């Protein structure tokens, strides 16, 4: 396991404030109120541990085949439905949404291999990530990758009520591999996928999924 580069400054500042608060607690409470002092100390370091674990990146090997649609993020499947995609395709698609809690790994990975055809960042609101309008009203980044079969898959990073920064790395025209990292969302969010109608789906609502390991479906 490694720690993600996007968390470098946050982790350093968190460690700095933990040391400062721990020192102040010792100075003011260490002798007169030892019980309160130790409770605060435990709380400070638990919070620091939570910040550090948020930026963890486990070592995983993506074993998806050339036509597999692999899970782009850790989390829980909260939506599987046919809907109209209004930004790029303007037609009916199968939407699959994966909710990431603050305890999940938040690195994001390409679900298929192919050519990046479209990238668009949208500023927006910060509704809770499971809100029905979060996919269209929240801060978000949209990507479309064209598979070698000619099929296109759209996937979207969606910020949540806590998430305040979306990071992404690909550029239009770039060829990407399935399981290659494409971004990171800080502190709670969701990923939406829009797949062609007729796509074989291998997950169900409520499934706990793992990035690079869980097969979402298959390009056909």
Read off the tokens for 112. 């298929």
Task: State the catalytic residue, choosing from 14, 97, 141, 189.
Answer: 189
* Of 6, 10, 211, the residue nearest 111 (C-alpha): 211
Per 3-state DSSP, the chain is made up of helix, strand and coil in percentages (nearest 5) of 25, 35, 40
Dihedral-angle region of residue 2 (phi above 0 means left; psi in -120 to 50 means alpha; beta otherwise)? beta
Is residue 165 within 8 A of residue 128, CB to CB? The reply is no
- Distance, in Å, from the CA atom of 31 to the CA atom of 40, rounded to the nearest integer, reads 14
Does 189 qualify as catalytic in the annotation? yes
Active site residues: 189
């Amino acid at each position: 396991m490694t720690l993600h580069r996007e968390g470098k400054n946050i982790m350093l500042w968190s460690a700095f404030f933990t040391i400062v608060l721990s020192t102040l607690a010792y100075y003011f409470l260490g002798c007169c109120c030892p019980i309160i002092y130790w409770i605060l100390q435990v709380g400070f370091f638990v919070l620091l541990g939570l910040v550090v674990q948020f930026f963890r990146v486990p070592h995983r090997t993506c074993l998806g085949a050339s036509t597999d649609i692999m899970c782009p993020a850790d989390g829980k499947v909260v939506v599987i439905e046919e809907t109209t995609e209004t930004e790029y395709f303007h037609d009916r698609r199968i939407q699959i949404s994966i909710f990431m809690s603050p305890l999940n790994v938040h690195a994001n990975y390409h679900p298929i291999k192919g050519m990046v055809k479209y990238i668009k960042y949208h500023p927006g609101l910060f509704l809770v990530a499971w809100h029905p309008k979060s996919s269209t009203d929240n801060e978000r980044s949209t990507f479309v990758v064209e598979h070698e079969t000619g099929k296109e898959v759209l996937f979207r990073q969606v910020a949540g009520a806590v998430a305040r920064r979306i990071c992404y790395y690909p550029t239009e025209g770039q060829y990407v591999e399935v399981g290659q990292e494409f971004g990171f969302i800080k502190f709670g969010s969701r990923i939406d996928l829009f797949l062609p109608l007729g796509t074989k789906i291998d997950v169900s609502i409520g499934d706990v999924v793992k990035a690079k390991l869980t097969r979402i479906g298959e390009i056909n």
